[in-house]
Amino acid sequence: MNRQVTGVADEKSVTSFRSDGGTGETRHRPWLKAAVLLAFLLATVGAGAFWWRSHSAPPIHYVTMPVTRGEVARAVTATGTVNPELTVIVGSYVSGVIQQLFCDYNTQVKAGQICAKIDPRPYQMTVNQAQAALDVAKAQLEKDKANLVYAKLTLDRTTALARRDFSTQDAADSAKNAYDQAQAQIGLDQATIEQREAELEAAQVNLGYTDITSPVEGTVVSRNVTQGQTVAASFQTPTLFLIATDLTKMQVDTNVSESDVGAVAEGNKATFTVDAFPSRVFEGTVTQLRQSPQSVQNVITFDAVVSVDNRDLSLKPGMTASARVVTERRSDVLRVPNQALRYLPGGIVPEGGTAATQAPTAGSGQALLWVLRDGRPAAVTVKVGLDDDSNTEIVEGDLHPGDLVIVGED
């Protein structure tokens, strides 16, 4: 009973709701329209914002570097080889077998010290032969002197007899001829003796050359022979040793290209590095610019000699050096990075001209810099001076140390 009543009541309620449904729809429909309209507006605003962001220019971030004071140095780079200032080649004047060696690499030698000895026996025999020939010539002289005395006595005797008519004139003339020949023989003997003395002296000199001696005081940097080796000096003097006179004074023989040689002069300061000490910079001075050109694969270079102090013996002969010769230097000048002179922002037209006309003009000394002031780029016309690979000197212009010059954009 209760269930039926309830069921009827529910049905009525539903029927009542349905009968009033028109009034319910009318009451909720304006809110639905407002929601749709709001969603449409939000989508439109979002699309517009997306379009504006995608088509608007992004903000420019400038890369800057400060204006500084310091040194600007123009330099010429070259490669070269480290060598002793004076290297003496010790060779052999005579041929023979190396009998003994007294010097080796790094041996400290004095002038006149024997470094090697060639077998002297063949040359000693030549000396002995020359000495014997000299002795024969001297003995011949003594013999001919005695003959001259006898010829003089014969001449005097024959002449006296001829005056008294005890001898013929022909006999007197014959005695005179014998005497003259005896005198001439004495002169010939003396000349022969001088010749034999010269031959003996030459043989003794060659014997002396079997002792290979150092002509200077220094250090042996190269030895090209071994004991028992045969050296032949018939056509060319063989090199036995290389001796450096003083390893505390070295030089770098740099190869300067012909396009840079005009800027290099004696007295220029130079720096260089070697592979053995990559973090150490050696300092030297150009002491000689040799006029003799060197051609390697049709490339002409000139030898600029850089002298350097090597008291600690760090530099070794033959090291490869990368040198930098300073040809011009300015100290304590206002300078800017070279990138700043090449920068020109697109679309910015300086006051009184165009971007193209305000660009630096080669050879005029005038250039345009962009300085960041109050967050905006400002064009500054300057007069430039000396430049190197990194910085350029500013001679005139509205710039001060600490100003930020623009070198690029992010």
3-state helix, strand, coil in the chain (%, to 5): 35, 35, 30
Q: Which residue's structure tokens are 């001796």?
A: 243
Q: Residue 295: beta bridge partners?
A: 300
What is the model's pLDDT at position 72?
A: 92
Q: Which residue's structure tokens are 């010539």?
A: 137
The tally of CA atoms less than 13 A away on the side-chain side of residue 408 is 4
What is the model's pLDDT at position 49?
A: 63
Written as six digits, the tokens of 345 are: 């922002």
What is the model's pLDDT at position 200?
A: 96
Q: What pLDDT digit, counting tens, does each position of 142-161 carry? A: 999 999 999 999 988 888 88
Span 355-372, average pLDDT: 64
Pair type for strands 114-118 and 62-66: unpaired
What is the model's pLDDT at position 116?
A: 96
What is the model's pLDDT at position 57?
A: 55
Q: Is the pLDDT at 352 greater than 50, yes or no?
A: no
Residues 6+ apart with CB under 8 A from 330: 71, 72, 73, 385, 386, 393
Q: Which of 275, 280, 279, 272 minimizes the C-alpha distance to 255? A: 272
Q: What pLDDT digit, counting tens, does each position of 378-394 carry? A: 899 999 999 888 899 99
pLDDT band at 374 (very low <50, low <70, confident <90, very high): confident
Span 234-254, average pLDDT: 89
pLDDT band at 170 (very low <50, low <70, confident <90, very high): confident
Q: Residue 366: beta bridge partners?
A: 383
pLDDT exceeding 90 applies to what percent of the chain?
Answer: 61
Q: What pLDDT digit, counting tens, does each position of 105-145 carry? A: 999 999 999 999 999 999 999 999 999 999 999 999 999 99
pLDDT band at 60 (very low <50, low <70, confident <90, very high): confident
Q: Is the pLDDT at 202 greater than 90, yes or no?
A: yes
Q: Which of 224, 253, 259 minimizes the C-alpha distance to 241? A: 224
What is the model's pLDDT at position 39?
A: 75
Task: Select the more confidently predicted residue: 403 or 8.
Answer: 403
Total residue length of the chain: 410
Q: How far apart are CA 6 and CA 12, in angstroms?
A: 10
382: alpha, beta or left? (left if phi > 0; alpha if psi -120 to 50): beta
Instruction: Select 75-85+244-330's CATH number: 2.40.30.170, 3.90.1150.10, 3.40.50.720, 3.30.470.20.
Output: 2.40.30.170
**CB 75 within 8 Å of CB 286:** no
Domain ranges of the chain: 21-56, 64-72+332-409, 75-85+244-330, 120-209
Mean pLDDT in the chain? Answer: 84
pLDDT band at 364 (very low <50, low <70, confident <90, very high): low
Q: What pLDDT digit, counting tens, does each position of 4-21 carry? A: 333 333 443 434 334 444
CATH number given to 64-72+332-409: 2.40.420
**Confidence (pTM):** 0.63
Written as six digits, the tokens of 187 are: 């002169």
